[in-house]
Chain A
Amino acid sequence: MAKVAGAETIIAHGVRLDGDLVAEGDLVIEGEIHGTVKTNGDLRIGDQAMVEADIEAGNAVISGTVRGNINVRGKLELFPSSQMTGDVVTEVLAVGPGARVNGSVSMGGEATKGKKRTEADES
């Protein structure tokens, strides 16, 4: 997979990304994504963004629409405008009033460890 390292990566509103994006730095998504998204840094999904992808991130703030599973090692914040369809695994979760989550939610150290263990078993 392509590595996008260091500097902040921004997918602008009006731009569509198809494929697997792996970023080492912080990532901002304002546009459309179809594929997978991975970053060790912080991820911000803007309120006009449309993401159809499985996501892995260090920390994440979501204001837009996400269809896919999300695995966050740190804190996940769902803003009031966010619409989440998929399973959520995170250490810490903050949900704003009006945010929609359709899927299972697993939280705390055990959940993220369990997720990692499952991935290790699969490989």
Chain B
Amino acid sequence: MYCYVYDEALQDRRYERELAQIETRLTDLGIAGKIARLALFRDPIELIRDEIRAGVTTIVAVGNDLTLRRVIDAVGDRKTVVALLPIGPQGGMTALLGMPSGVAACDVLSARIVEELDVGEVNGKRFVQSVHIEGTEFVVHFGKQYTLTPQRKATLEMRNFAEPDDAGIQSPVDGRLSCIIRLPKFSLFKGKANVGVVPFEEVFVACEKNVTALVDGDRLEGKDFVFRVIPRALRLVTGKARKF
């Protein structure tokens, strides 16, 4: 049983036609389901959990990365399958998951290639992509085995899943997160930052002072952070063009 969670931005009239086409295609494919609409004063967690209690097995976030994130936050178990049906301006998840935008996504949804993805957790808050802490002094403790200390202010990224870049390729199905430390180069000529990458399962980060961490875009204030991976915690529908 499917439930489609519409982002509140989709109430805009410019999406009416596309949504109608999507709903028709979903009916043709036999995967139409209940529609729930996110709204300003409606708690998405309560809304989605009510649907799961009512027997829904697949929750489809209709919108963008943010819609998907709100759905993932609400789906606390490993049984419910989650999917993104992209409409409107998109972030990075659409390409990473190999989901085409608009009506074309219905066929990918129908093919139902379900992957079990790792999820990261920082101080009890889950994330799918990464956590950023900009320009600060910190020490990363890898259990009792060793510590990593940047010699000057650096940017810290704890990554589960992202587009390949100067820190290489990270897989969301390997049971690990990556600790990425970027130090700016002091040079007359602008060059690439020094980049360090260390895979891990659990680390403790102690910052010099209170900082703001961006957890998949959401702000989290703190000085000490515990990061850990929750292996195969999320069942997500992906397309053949997925990048992992």
Give me the interface of A with B, judged by CB distance under 8 Å.
1-2, 4-22, 30-32, 35
Contacts and interface: CB of A to CB of B under 8 A. Distances in A.
Contacts of B176: 5-7
B225 to A, nearest CB: 18
Interface residues of B, number: 26
B197 interface: yes
Interface string B156-200: 000000000000101000101010011100000000001111111
B146 interface: yes
Interface stretch (B121-129, B147-155, B205-213): B147-155
Given A14-B183, A22-B145, 19 more contacts: A2-B143, A2-B146, A4-B198, A4-B200, A7-B170, A7-B174, A7-B176, A7-B199, A9-B198, A9-B199, A11-B196, A13-B194, A14-B150, A15-B154, A15-B194, A15-B196, A17-B147, A18-B149, A20-B145
A31 B145 CA distance: 18
B142 interface: yes
Contacts of A14: 150-152, 154, 183, 194
Interface string B132-145: 00000000001101
A87 to B, nearest CB: 23
A52 B150 CA distance: 17
B146 A19 contact: yes
Contacts of B195: 10, 12
B145 A1 contact: yes
